[in-house]
Amino acid sequence: MKQFDVNAENSAAAGTAKPGADGAQLDASAQALLEFVRQQGNAPLDEVTVEVAREQSNALRAKLQPLSPSVLRVEDGVMAAADQRIPYRFYRDVPGDQPVPLVVFFHGGGFVLGDLDSHDIVCRLLCKDSGCAVLSVDYRRAPEHKFPAAVDDAVTAMGWVMRNTGALGVDPGRLALAGDSAGANLATVVALSMKEAGEPAAALQLLLYPVTDQARDYDSKQRYAAGYGLSLAAINYYARQYFSNEADKRDWRASPILHKNLAGLPETLIITAGFDPLVDEGEAYALRLAAAGVRTTLKRFPGQIHGFVSRGGVIPQAQEALDEMTLLLRDRFFAD
C-alpha cells in the first residue's frame, strides 16, 4: 500500500465491486464480510436490549477475527483511582524487566458495545508485532453511564498509567495512545486533556477510523448510510445512548475536531476506510491536525468498511493496517 501524508495523494488499494463516490471499489473481502453479517440475521440494535446487542456484537466479531496469537504475558487488573475502579488488560511479549514502550488502547463500539475481549486479538497482535507493551482500558459504557463518563475514565486511566509506569515496567518517554472508532475518540481526547492540563505529552497517537465530530453532518454519512456495516441508524442509536442532550455533542470532549487549538498534540497516524460513514470526519480531523502543525499521516484503505481492522479473519488488509501502526511504533520507539 502506498502511504501519503495529509498534504499528499491518497493511498490506493485493490478491490472490486460497485464504485464509491471517489471511484474506489468495495473490496471483495469487505463484500464477503457484509454478506456473512447479513446471513446471521441479527436484529437491529434498537430492537434488542443493550445486553443482547453486546452479546451479539462480541459473538459476531469472534467469528471474523484471526487466530489469537500467544503473548508472553497477559494480565487483567483493576485501576483504583479517583473513586473509580477501571478494569484493564496488560500485554507484554518482551522477556526480562527492562522498561519497554507502552501503547494505551481504547476499544471501539460506539461507547455502548465492545470490551476487553472484543479487541483482545487486536491488542495481542499490536503487542507482539511492535515490541511494545499494550494496556487496554475497559471504560464505562452507555447507556448505563452517559457522556462524559467514558471520557472521565479514559483520562483517569491515563493518569494512573503515568503514576505506575515503574510497576508496569514501561518507559513514560515512549508512550502512544491508540483506539478504534469510539476508542480513537477517547485516545485523542486524552491527548487533548493532557495538553490542557500541562502534563507531559504522549509521543504518538494511533487512530483507527476515529469518531471526531458528533455535532455536524458529513457527506459520507449520507453516502454510506446503509449497506456498509456501520449504518447511519446505528450511529444515531449510539448517540441516543451516549448523550443526555444535543448540547453534549458540541463539547470538544465528544467532538475533538471542535477544540479551538489542536497545536501541540502528539504525532498522529489516522487510518480510514473508504466506505465508512465516518471517513469524512476522520480525514477532516487529519487536515485540522496538520494545519495546526501536528506531524500527521493519513492512510485511507479505499475499498474497506468501518471496523475492518478487528475483522482480520476475513479481511487481509486488517493486517496491513496493523503493520502501518507497528512500523511507526518501531520506527519512533526503537530506531537508533
Contact 97, 87 (CB under 8 A): no
Question: Based on the structure, what is the number of domains in the chain?
Answer: 1
Per-residue confidence at 81, pLDDT binned at 50, 70, 90? confident
Would residue 146 count as lying in a domain? yes
Which CATH number is 160's domain given? 3.40.50.1820
Q: The C-alpha cell of 53 is what?
A: 446487542
HSE of 13, CA atoms in CB hemisphere, 13 A = 30
Residue 29 covered by a domain:
yes
Taking all residues of the chain, what is their mean pLDDT, rounded to a whole number?
Answer: 93
Residue 61 lies in a domain: yes
Q: Catalytic annotation on 276?
A: yes
Is the CB of residue 285 less than 8 Å from the CB of residue 257?
yes
Asked whether residue 336 is assigned to any structural domain, the reply reads no
Structural domain of 97: 4-331
pLDDT mean over 94-106:
96
| Residue among 181, 193, 231, 310 flagged as catalytic | 181
Q: Is 181 a catalytic residue?
A: yes
Q: What is the pLDDT of residue 84?
A: 86
- Across-strand partners of 105? 136, 178
Which pLDDT belongs to residue 22? 73
| 188-245 pLDDT tens trace | 999 999 999 999 989 999 999 999 999 999 999 999 999 999 999 999 999 999 999 9
Determine which one of 27, 152, 248, 276 is catalytic. 276
Q: 255 catalytic, yes or no? A: no
Helices (H) and strands (E) in the chain, counts: 10, 9
312-322 as b/e: b if 16+ CB within 10 A:
bbbbebbebbb
Query: Is residue 263 one of the residues assigned to a domain?
Result: yes
CB 252 within 8 A of CB 285: no
189: amino acid identity, one letter: V
Confidence band of 21 (pLDDT split at 50, 70, 90)? low
Residue 323 CB neighbours (<10 A): 15
Q: Spot the catalytic one: 107, 119, 259, 306.
A: 306
